Homo-oligomer: A and B are copies of this chain.
């Protein structure tokens, strides 16, 4: 049994969701909220498995409410629903920590499937929006180290040299690398020199950039 909190400023809309969700045995609407502030409060109070969140609401909107609910650290997952598929909403909602984003024209069974998935800790995005998410994904997310599209220069590196390159990418000095790898600094220098030559970098800074460009290092935005 999945408990659901329905958040929407329109009573009729809430009624529709309640009828639908209570008509199947697996879900139960345990509460309703008409705006963001109420959603945050009732989520803390009722601890529903899933919060069905509308975006456009008077006062605190669904995005901000989502942010606060997620920040609160409760186990409630937020599934955002909207009538429009505006980019800003999708982005903002996902960055706010929503577990899903669906359009209100979703078919009932898909909504139920979505709620089920979100309650299970998975995530759902309306197919019409997934397209755009994917486009950005492939644009921005760095190549996985295991990807088959690799720079031939990477293949020319020996195992040890690749380790060295990763270490360089972490910003370690030759001395630090020597300590952690338990070898002499001369050895590290030799390796570094070979790495630079192979990847065509003039100094370790270029090597750091190379490492980021090729997925050997990844940004930590924390």
Contacts and interface: CB of A to CB of B under 8 A. Distances in A.
Contact of A219 (B140, B221, B222): B140
B221 A144 contact: no
Contacts of A212: 212, 217, 219
Interface residues of A, number: 63
A131 B141 contact: no
A162 interface: no
A123 interface: yes
A95 interface: yes
A205 B205 CA distance: 6
Contacts of A215: 219, 221
B94 A138 contact: yes
A134 to B, nearest CB: 5
A146 interface: yes
Interface stretch (A27-35, A37-45, A84-92): A84-92
Interface in A113-143: 113-114, 117-118, 120-125, 127-128, 130-131, 133-134, 136-143
A94 B135 CA distance: 9
Interface of A: 63-64, 67, 87-88, 91-92, 94-95, 97, 99-100, 109-110, 113-114, 117-118, 120-125, 127-128, 130-131, 133-134, 136-144, 146-149, 169-171, 173, 203-206, 208-209, 212-215, 217-222
24 contacts: A88-B144, A91-B144, A92-B144, A94-B137, A95-B149, A122-B127, A122-B130, A123-B130, A124-B127, A125-B125, A125-B130, A136-B137, A136-B141, A139-B221, A140-B140, A140-B219, A142-B219, A142-B221, A205-B208, A208-B209, A212-B212, A213-B219, A213-B221, A214-B221
